[in-house]
Structures are given as C-alpha cells and as structure tokens.
Amino acid sequence: MTRTRTGAFYLTGAALAVLFLLPMLWTVFSSVRGREAASGGDGWGLANYQRLLAYGSGLGTYLTNTVVVAVVAVSVTVVTTTLGGYAMVRLPFPGRNVLFLVTLAVLMVPYTTILVPLYILLGWLGLQNSLVGLGLVLAVLQLPFGLFMMRNSFDALPAELEEAALVDGCTITGALRRVLLRGVLPGIVTVALFSFLAAWNEFVAPLIFLTDGSKFTLPVALFNLQSGSLGSVDFGALQAGVVVSALPCVAVFLVLQRYYVRGFTSGALKG
C-alpha cells in the first residue's frame, strides 16, 4: 500500500469516527448543561441527572426492571440456542434441515405480527404485566438469529473433538460441557451480546405487555418523559436519560468485543 493510499485510509477512518461520535458527544454535552441552557442561557451541572433520578418511580426502579428483563432474555436465548444449535449439527434426527429452514423463515416475519398471540399466551401462563413474561417474549424474538449463529458455530468445529472426548469416557453431555462449549464460546458471546442489546433497547413489546408504571423499562420511561405534561418536554433530563441508557450497552460491547469479532470470523457466518 502506497503512502498516499495509507493517508487516504486513515483520513477516511478519522472522518467516519467523527461522523459517528459527534452525535454521542453532543448528547453527553447537552446532558450536563443546566435547565436554563435549554432556553438559550448558560450553565453547567448535574441538574438534568437529578431530575431524571426523581422522575416517576425513580431511575433506579426503571434500571432494575430493564436489567431483570435483559437477564431473563439473555439467559433463555443462550441456553436454548446453544442446545438447539448442538442438536441441529450433532444429532441426526429426521427433518432437521427442514426445521432449520423454517426457523430461518421466521426472520422474514415482522415481529409485531406475533405480539397479539404472545399476549394471549402470556395470559394463559399468568405472566401478563410481568417482567419475567416480557423477558421470555424478547427471548422468543431472538431465537431464530441465535439458533442460526449457534448452528454455524457448532458446524465449524471438527467432529473429531467430540469423538475424542467420547473415546476418553465422556458422555454426550460431558463432551458438550467440557470440550465443545469452549470452541463455540465466541458464538455464545455474540448471541448473548445481540440478545442483550435487543432486550435493553426494546420499546414496543414493553409498551404493550407492561401496564403497571412501576414495571416500565427504561425506554418506556424515557418515552413518557419525552411526552411531557401539558405540552412541556424536559429536554435536559431526556438527554441525561439517553446517556444513562447507552452506557451499559457501550460497556458490555467494549468488554465482549474481542469475542464478538471472533464469533463472526471463526465460522459463525458459515452458511
């Protein structure tokens, strides 16, 4: 690569970085300006965050609700798609390829079309207006993509690894737990990361399935804050809420990014 091309490469990268980071920096900047600054005045401080903490049932309640929903969704998605991906590759049951294609076809269906059946199903299970029920719904929405990722992750592993473990005396469960899970760890982390981001930022499903204001997740609480009262909108507190909502996603991504990259480069996209 010539020096001119190298310079153009870094210049383009820097321009894209500024393009993506500028809205985030503007949001952080707006969140620490005082209320008077919203009307054109000056002022800095944490007043926006203080009003956000005191909003509704309290910021801590909304954060806790969102964490509970995300934990349920990630746990159910990871366990079911890991076992399902293993079964799709290692267990030669009839019709597994057809079943996999049907699962992929679900990705083409807008998830809003199945919200009503899911609402009725939660009523039968006694889980309406429940954080656990909402977590299960969000897990269901992530199952097709998760199963796709885990099937390809297991398919990328040599069958000799499992055969060697079985020869050494492991059971199928033991070989899966002691040998195969290490090989598909990047795929598991990728599924968990996508499931977490989807559950954390989901808005429509919590708005439909939760009716108790004290059980609202953070996106729904921010929407109510954005709606305001008597036509007034607290933009400062809203920007503070956006920053608080984004921080966990950024932190989780930075911690897991090396597994995430490996998940896409070690055969997770093998079709």
Q: What is the mean pLDDT of the chain?
A: 83
At residue 151, does pLDDT exceed 70? yes
pLDDT higher for 270 or 48?
A: 48
Tell me the average pLDDT across 160-173.
83
Query: What phi, psi does 46 have (nearest 5°)?
Result: -110, 25
pTM here? 0.83
pLDDT tens per residue, range 207-238 = 889 888 888 999 998 888 776 655 567 788 88
CATH class given for the domain over 20-33+43-268: mainly alpha
Q: Which of 41-45, 142-146, 204-208 comes out lowest in average pLDDT? A: 41-45
pLDDT tens per residue, range 53-84 = 888 778 889 999 999 999 999 999 999 999 99
> What band does 262 get if pLDDT is binned at 50, 70 and 90?
low
Task: State the Cα–Cα distance between residues 187 and 13, nearest whole angstrom.
Answer: 28
> What band does 131 get if pLDDT is binned at 50, 70 and 90?
very high
Q: How is residue 156 written in tokens?
A: 């990328």
At residue 95, does pLDDT exceed 70? yes
Q: DSSP letter at 33?
A: B
CB contact set of 155 (below 8 Å; sequence gap of 6+) = 89, 267, 270
